[in-house]
Structure 1
Amino acid sequence: MTDMNVLSQKMKNVMIVLLGFLFLTANMACKTDDPTIPDTNMENDNEMMSDTTSNQLKINIGSKTFMATLVDNPTVTAFKAKLPLTVSMSELNGNEKLYNFPSNLPINPSNPRTINTGDLMIYSSNVLVLFYKSFSTSYSYTRLGRIANPAGLEAALAASAAGSGDVTVTFELE
């Protein structure tokens, strides 16, 4: 019986070592060295928004100008490299204007659950979206920023669309 107890104890020790190895391996597989903060539904706007001038975006639509604050993430860095930018944005769903970049931007999409008027985001990896109405969503986006005071945004987009739904929008750093 003593040999059986010794063998049983050795089997237990081997099992403990194997389980420990599996735990460490699984834990390392889930770890990421990516320091970016995943986008959220912006409950902590003050933490994610930067007050630096370089993160202030001027959005011109016709004669109206809106100021947005950009978040700090790799997508915004790639977006800022394209500025100043004047694009024709097309209508979608009666709540947003969009522009398709010819190349992909780095993304870190998440579902914000609620889109707010004035949100500026990337859908997929190359679709710039400016939302002019608030609504619930099941889609995932990478946040670029938000217009601080979106009052009049919908009217400016409609007035500049000239009936076609397409509108020319200029984005530039302040």
Structure 2
Amino acid sequence: MNKCIVLLALMFITLTPILTACGTDDDPITDIPVQPNPEEPGDNGNSGSGNDNGNNDNGNNEGENQMNRSMTIRVGGHSFDATLEDNATARAFAALLPMTVTMNELNGNEKYHYLSENLPTDSYRPGTIRNGDLMLYGSNCVVLFYETFSSSYSYTRIGQLGNPSGLASALGQGNVSVTFEINNN
């Protein structure tokens, strides 16, 4: 009987550290992905302003994440210049270009297309969507907005048209073919 008690006590002492290693102290780690990534220059979680123009990290980037951020969006006979964000989502999107897709109409303010692969995300709630915003909804839905409005949805910013004047009429009311391409400078 004493041997059983000693054996149970030894098992308890041995297993206690193992069982507590998976306790609730580890749960806060699940909150990390929703935090802005401090290693992505120019993307501070409210990157709707495009105020990081010309930010080349003063040579600190070692070239692996640098990309041409100038893009053209073509709809029918119309071309619109856009600037890609300096973030992982925009880099992954740019790697897919050039690309011509059919974008579907939604809500009289946006066109969308589901990509065949997922892109990295760092979504946030912009509050106001602006005419000319190019966003990612979820991890594979590219959305081009042609009206300004308030929204409670979360998006990851891909880019912004420099001058979206005429975008709504170029996109029209139904589904439309849109070409995205990096400008060769």
TM normalised by structure 1 equals 0.74
Amino acid at match of 1:68: A
1:9: which partner in 2? none
Query: Which of residues 164, 169, 172 in structure 1 aligns to 2:178?
Result: 169
Mapped partners of 2:54, 2:85: distance in 1? 6
How many residues get paired?
Answer: 142
Q: Residues 1-174 of structure 1 correspond to what in structure 2 (within 5 A)? A: 34=37, 35-36=39-40, 37-40=43-46, 42-43=48-49, 45-47=50-52, 49-50=53-54, 54-158=68-172, 165-174=174-183
1:10: which partner in 2? none
| Alpha carbons 1:117, 1:150 under 8 Å: kept | yes
Q: How big is the shift at 1:60?
A: 0.3
| Alpha carbons 2:36, 2:44 under 8 Å: kept | no
Amino acid at match of 1:42: G
Give the secondary structure class of the aligned counterpart of 1:91. strand
Larger helix share, 1 or 2: 1
Mapped partners of 1:88, 1:166: distance in 2? 7
TM normalised by structure 2 equals 0.70
Moved over 2 A (4+): 28-34, 36-39, 49-53
Q: Structure 1 68/170 Cα, relative in aligned 2: closer, same or farther at 3 Å?
A: same
Q: How big is the shift at 1:38?
A: 4.3
Q: Deviations over 1:65-96 (max 9, x none)?
A: 00001110000111011000000000001100
| Alpha carbons 2:102, 2:177 under 8 Å: kept | yes
Q: Structure 1 75/41 Cα, relative in aligned 2: closer, same or farther at 3 Å?
A: closer
Aligned Cα RMSD in Å? 2.4
Mapped partners of 1:90, 1:54: distance in 2? 27
Mapped partners of 2:73, 2:123: distance in 1? 23
- Quote the sequence identity (%): 44
Amino acid at match of 1:146: Q
2:18: which partner in 1? none
Q: How big is the shift at 1:153?
A: 0.2
Mapped partners of 2:117, 2:149: distance in 1? 28
Mapped partners of 2:36, 2:55: distance in 1? 26
| Alpha carbons 1:88, 1:166 under 8 Å: kept | yes
Give the secondary structure class of the aligned counterpart of 2:91. helix
